[in-house]
Amino acid sequence: MNEMDYKQVNDDMRYLTLLSRSFPNIATASTEIINLEAILNLPKGTEHFLADLHGEYQAFQHVLRNASGTIKRKVKEIFNETLGTKEQKELCTLIYYPELKLELVKRGITDAGDLNDWYFININRLVKVCRNVSSKYTRSKVHKALPPDFSYIIQELLHENSSDPNKQAYVDVVVRTIISTQRADDFIIAMCYLIQQLTIDVLHILGDVYDRGPSPDKIMDILCDYHNLDIQWGNHDILWMGAAAGNDCCIANVIRIAMRYGNQSVLEDGYGINLLPLATFAMETYKKDPCTQFIPKDLDEKDPEKMKSSRLMAQMHKAISIIQFKLEAATIKRRPEFEMSDRLLLDKIDYKKHIITIDGKQYELTDGNFPTVDPQDPYKLTAEEEMVVTKLHNSFVQSDKLKRHMNCMFRNGCIFAVVNGNLLYHASIPLNEDGSLKDVIIQGYPYHGHALLKKVGSLIRDAYFGAENQEDYLFAKDYVWYLWCGKNSPAFDKDKMATFERYFIADKATHKETKGWYYKLRDQEKICDMILDEFHVQGQYRHIINGHVPVKTIKGESPVKANGKLMVIDGGFSKAYQPETGIAGYTLVYHSRGFQLVQHEPFTSIQKAVEEGQDIKSTYEMVELTNHRMMVKDTDKGNELSSQIRDLQKLLVAYRSGLIKERAWRPITNKR
Ligand SMILES: O=P(O)(O)OC[C@H]1O[C@](O)(COP(=O)(O)O)[C@@H](O)[C@@H]1O
Ligand SMILES: [Mn+2]
């Protein structure tokens, strides 16, 4: 051992002694080094990026099942020579929706023998796909992903080389036995989900799971069970986190948005929030009010339930909006440092003339009926409104399902992430006009860039889990609402949220929300490089990935900006925004050969997907090709493994030099 090695080993003796408990001798330590080296030389796993899901469960789960087209690409790669497009499509549909496709197949095939043939052919095809998608992983990782019921059989099938005639006979017998024991359906279903899982190594959700669409709760159910996930919270998610933490402004906003889109069921059925107090109050208070401005958006005339409840929903929508403006005023006054007094509008209204004066300009109100507003004290909640707020508050903080979903948000997320050379965040890093990082004052201290995002992340945690002292906790709870709609919020970064204006003023100019400098300046490569440096993201292939702002493809906007350094992948799942974007949006796939941007057209329905094999029509654009196939050693995981290898090498030195004594490896048992 040379001087240097000896010194390093000596310095690390405490750690190496601990490590020797897991690898007690030269044989076990060197076997581990060999295993880790082997992993480093596997191709990098595929990453899948989605953003702005906005409660669109069906479109989300389709994109998840088809891995943004990755499964179709694999099927084509494997069967291009042997299967026509129709058969490839059939196989893809089976992989995406195994239960539904099996039902459909069985309805179409009545003869038992024919069905058995179908099973035989398709199980063999699935085995081929599975072999392909599992080839990027170690046997041990694949083993851990296997469904317990079929673990042994799948291992046998995956690792037998079917080009050997003896082995093919063995595989055939295994498959025939699965069919004859009537396990084919279960086996196929298990294989299809395994393929889905192995196709994507890690899923990144760049924010805004919640609001507008009908079923964010179902999306969260899937995400919470996903095998490898991170979430970068969007402003809508933060709004829900604030609501779950008991911030009443957030609660009012969450309910207002649900009513705006006619989605009371996500609150009532999804999270068990009791809306009855609000409903009875609204029916009574706005009995004679048509609430025209508050009729839910995009009412589906084919949905009689929604049509029937739209009048009640409009009343609840108006009631909660007024409550929201009053509650927000209290926060704005309590926290002058938020600089949001321009959002105090109820005191700018002439309640007799139905006119509002903003910045010296008068506007006629589209709705002048404010039965709960006292012109002398416009922000005071009536006793009934207060009661409604208390009841809604209790419902939100007590919802078990909401707690479960929020815990999952916290467990898997933060406001930003750095993964494999990419910086991920939903919206913005506040900038000054000259492109420098903007100082944002929080509790008297300036924060910018990386420090700002870290501070904001910890404030959200404080609001939910409690801070060290009461004052900090109350501040954090208010700040979460600020993050939803405040002008210096990295999750929002627009000069205002023009909610009041959109409901009560016809002049569209007042609805305009001006975006922060970030959204203009991010087109420049040098700005993106500066931000990446700020977050210590290094390497030749580094990028920023954003969501939040829909890409207006229809107007020729590109999702790739700053000479390829930044990509905006607002998934555009939100139906309400599809006319604006002209497409359903973008998702991103990052595999061992580079980045692939996937542009989707609107998803129609699961029924069409299964019965007609209709996939989302997607186009692919290879954004960046790396000049060599990326391996695990080129990733963050690779760096981690390489440092483990270095430690193990030091352990070998310690064994060989006698600094640590080798022990025989014995399995740990309770017996002495
Ligand atoms: O179109 P809607 O649903 O009324 O929402 C409009 C509001 O949503 C926002 O765009 C925020 O939501 P996003 O984060 O999805 O952009 C606000 O800036 C705007 O006031
Ligand atoms: Mn957003």
Asked whether residue 670 carries a pLDDT value surpassing 60, the answer given is: no
For the Cβ of 523 lying below 6 angstroms from any atom of ligand 1, the answer is no
Ligand 1 atom with least separation from CA of 549: 16
What pLDDT was estimated at residue 671? 53
209 CA to middle of ligand 1, Å? 13
For 508, the 3-state DSSP assignment is helix
**Longest Cα pair distance anywhere in the chain, in angstroms?**
93
Best residue among 513, 546, 570, 581 to mutate for probing ligand 1's pocket (most ligand atoms within 8 Å of CB) is 513
Least confident stretch, 126-135, 173-182, 564-573: 564-573
Please report, for residues 52, 242, 439, 446, 658, the alpha-carbon distance to residue 488 in angstroms, rounded to integers and kept in the order given: 21, 17, 9, 12, 59
Q: Average pLDDT over the chain, rounded to whole?
A: 92
What pLDDT was estimated at residue 10? 81
Sign (positive/negative) of CA torsion 166, 167, 168, 174?
Answer: positive
Tokens 């046997």 appear where? 139
Least confident stretch, 79-88, 152-161, 608-617: 608-617
What pLDDT was estimated at residue 80? 92
For the Cβ of 194 lying below 6 angstroms from any atom of ligand 1, the answer is no
Least confident stretch, 62-76, 367-381, 494-508, 509-523: 62-76
What pLDDT was estimated at residue 583? 60
What pLDDT was estimated at residue 672? 47
Q: How confident is the model at residue 349 (pLDDT cuts 50, 70, 90)?
A: very high
Q: How confident is the model at residue 302 (pLDDT cuts 50, 70, 90)?
A: low
User: CA-CA distance, 369 to 113, in Å (whole number)?
Assistant: 71
Contact between 588 and 49 under an 8 Å Cβ cutoff? The reply is yes
357 CA to middle of ligand 1, Å? 24
How does pLDDT run across 399-416, given as a tens digit for each residue?
999 999 999 999 999 999
Ligand 1 atom with least separation from CA of 513: 18
For the Cβ of 212 lying below 6 angstroms from any atom of ligand 1, the answer is yes
What pLDDT was estimated at residue 126? 97
Tell me the one-letter amino acid at 162: S
- Segment 327-353 shows an average pLDDT of 97
pTM higher than 0.90, yes or no?
yes
DSSP 344-388: --GGGEETTTTEEEETTEEEEBS----TT-BTTBTTPPPHHHHHH
Q: How confident is the model at residue 31 (pLDDT cuts 50, 70, 90)?
A: very high
ipTM exceeding cut-off 0.90 for this assembly: yes
How does pLDDT run across 44-72, given as a tens digit for each residue?
999 999 999 999 999 899 899 999 989 99
- Segment 644-671 shows an average pLDDT of 85
- Segment 275-293 shows an average pLDDT of 96
> 588 - beta bridge partners?
49, 597
How does pLDDT run across 239-277, given as a tens digit for each residue?
999 999 999 999 999 999 999 999 999 999 999 999 999
235 CA to middle of ligand 1, Å? 9
For the Cβ of 513 lying below 6 angstroms from any atom of ligand 1, the answer is yes
For the Cβ of 208 lying below 6 angstroms from any atom of ligand 1, the answer is yes
Closest ligand by atom to 208 CA: 2
304 CA to middle of ligand 1, Å? 27
Least confident stretch, 104-108, 347-351, 357-361: 104-108
